[in-house]
Amino acid sequence: MMRDFSTGSAPIALNTATLGPRASLKDAVDGCLRHGIATLSPWRDRIAATGLHAASRLIRDSGLTVAGLCRGGMFPAADAAGRKAVREDNLRALDEAATLGAGALVLVVGSLPAGSKDISAARRQVEEGIAALLEDAREFGVRLAIEPLHPVYAAERACVNTLAQALDMCDRLGGDLGIAIDAYHVWWDPDLSRQIARAGRSGRILGFHVSDWMLPTASVLNDRGMMGEGIIDLKALRGEVEAAGFAGPVEVEIFSERNWWMRPVDEILSAVVRACRTAV
């Protein structure tokens, strides 16, 4: 049986991207408190703008929990110096996630380095980069969550594009490695139901993100819809994810340059809560 948002048994997590680039971490925290949202998933730029330790105090004092930190990853690089810089940034991200008490560090894995057309090599670099980070993640007490992105991002943002790819990587690398399922990125996959069940059997679902796919879409990156505005069957997808054993918060992550980001924080958050109750 699916959890009922109206009773508070299916908690909402706010990804700070939903409020747009002008909203501060404090805006997000205060907004969550006003609208009864108990969980936050911040992007690292919002943490950096506040300062890590100030951000940690702000969130801790508010009583909010942190579902995940966005993002680590971006592993492929053109040379050894680039790979070293990537590793150092991911170690900083792990430290930030641990300091914030985040449930996971979400990995947007990256893809083709400048000048390359070899996506197979990029995927090898991704797997090598995650493998090298696993022991560090264990030491920090932070789980790593691979987030497959829609294939339209395969050349630039993420060369892992399906749950099957992400889970195959988890199986090869082992440990506490998991996945984040983002409805916007995976709804189209004909193998989605089978892979969600597979992820559930291995206990690898670390996050479930929602927004909606608009028709027409003005920008694949920055024209996501509020849940219920588009064509994704979010209720059915949530049912499958929860049937697979996921009991964490439903994370709302909306990039909406021409619509929601132009609105006041309280209007956005009122719509988030309403849409979760009616469309998710």
Interatomic CA distance for residues 220 and 116, integer angstroms:
23
Q: Per-residue pLDDT tens for 7-23? A: 666 799 999 999 999 99
Q: Per-residue pLDDT tens for 241-275? A: 999 999 999 999 999 999 999 999 999 999 999 99
Half-sphere exposure of 141 (CA within 13 A, CB side): 5
pTM: 0.97
For all residues of the chain together, what is the average pLDDT? 97
Percent of the chain with pLDDT strictly greater than 90: 96
Phi, psi of 218 (to 5 degrees): -80, -30
Dihedral sign of CA atoms 25, 181, 125, 105 in order: positive
- Domain chopping of the chain, boundaries: 14-279
pLDDT band at 186 (very low <50, low <70, confident <90, very high): very high
Report the CATH fold assignment for 14-279.
TIM Barrel (3.20.20)
